[in-house]
Amino acid sequence: MFTNKTVVVTGAAQGIGRSIAEHFAEKGAKVIGLDLKEVAVENVEFLQCDVGNFSQVTETMKKIHSNYGVIHVLINNAGISKFRSLWDIEEADWDHILNTNLKSVFICSREAARFMTGDIRSIINMASTRAFMSEPQTELYSASKGGIFALTHSLAASLSEKGIRVNSIAPGWIHTGESSELRDVDHEQHWSGRVGEGADIARACLFLCNPENSFINAECLTIDGGMTRKMIYEH
């Protein structure tokens, strides 16, 4: 399905992005990771790029097109978080989070879409369950992820004329460190009986990008072990 298809993954150096890149590479895709740093990931080529910078993204997508031709899949995964008091947030904090998490989705999608003319044309944006529910001191991150949720269906509308599908994924708790760091209660509070892993998100990306599932468009797939459906009251 994805053999020799060109797949671009932003924020691919670690965490969920790395797992996504590895899964597509295992399927035979030509995977290009965009990140501020380059790491060694088998069968993944890294290009240094600030995905929140219009000119860098434009030039990077042109380079990918020049080297690989058609872009088939874009996974907008790059994201950072900063949880701090509402009263301590500075303008620079706002700009940094929104540029990295939200502006990057717009510019990467637009520039990659210029070169999406193949048999697979799919964009996946990484939102979050924090787009729909919150804890205190999460305004910056929540605003960026809520924006991604809305931007996804807007992009789907605009890019439908090019035959490009745009969907998003809203991960819940996805643990990317050592499993020994987790407590029993961390797993038990999920209806699925465990905390999520990067592979859970990667497999969803493979599913959504599969052209056999082409009727799934402008959708947000929540992957959180049931937590956003769980009523929590103090008894």
Segments in the chain forming alpha helices (H): 15-26, 54-68, 91-98, 104-113, 139-159, 184-188, 198-209
Angle at 22 between CA 142 and CA 145, to 5 degrees: 10
For residues 191 and 226, the answer to whether their CB atoms sit within 8 Å is yes
Would residue 68 show up in a list of annotated catalytic residues for this protein? Answer: no
From the candidates 141, 166, 201, 209, which is the catalytic residue?
141
Residue 125's H or E segment, with its range, is strand 122-126
CA 216/CA 165 separation, integer angstroms? 8
CA 36/CA 48 separation, integer angstroms? 5
CA 219/CA 229 separation, integer angstroms? 18
Taken as a whole, the chain contains a residue count of: 235
User: What are residue 225's phi and psi, to 5 degrees?
Assistant: 65, 15
For residues 24 and 50, the answer to whether their CB atoms sit within 8 Å is no
| Residues with catalytic roles | 141
